[in-house]
Amino acid sequence: METTINTRTGTMRSTAEKTNVVSSNVSAYDRWIETLKFSHFGIISMTILVGSILGGIASMYVFQNDAPFWQFVVGLYCTMANLVASIAQAPTKWVVNLFFLSATVSTLLIIINL
């Protein structure tokens, strides 16, 4: 078993104890993102598919309702940010966060323009 020595306090702590201390400070969201890293390319393909569909439906409702142009621009910006992050193979946390932003904005635009 490897041990490390902390020279300031003079205490010895094993490597396993250090990892338990570090992992206990991680939030549930960060642990969930870590589990998603296994299927990173699957996540990318699903965010491209679902994000594009939701963005297209939202823009259809915006134009059908003759809503202000800024609604289309906001929806387009969020959807394109999701697509750019996915196609550029950004880290999993970026892809998931931008997908949730895009899905939330698109869903709100759909509800507003029903």
Q: Would you say how long the chain is, in residues?
A: 114
In a domain, 13, yes or no: no
Q: What is the pLDDT of residue 26?
A: 83
In a domain, 103, yes or no: yes
Q: How far apart are the C-alpha atoms of 79 and 99, rounded to whole Å?
A: 8
In a domain, 45, yes or no: yes
pLDDT in tens, 77-92: 999 999 999 999 999 9
User: pTM higher than 0.75 for the full model?
Assistant: no
In a domain, 57, yes or no: yes
- What is the domain count for the chain? 1
In a domain, 47, yes or no: yes
Q: How far apart are the C-alpha atoms of 62 and 49, rounded to whole Å?
A: 20
Full domain range(s) for residue 90: 27-112
What percentage of the chain exceeds 90 in pLDDT? Answer: 66
In a domain, 89, yes or no: yes
pLDDT in tens, 24-57: 678 998 999 898 889 999 999 999 999 999 999 9
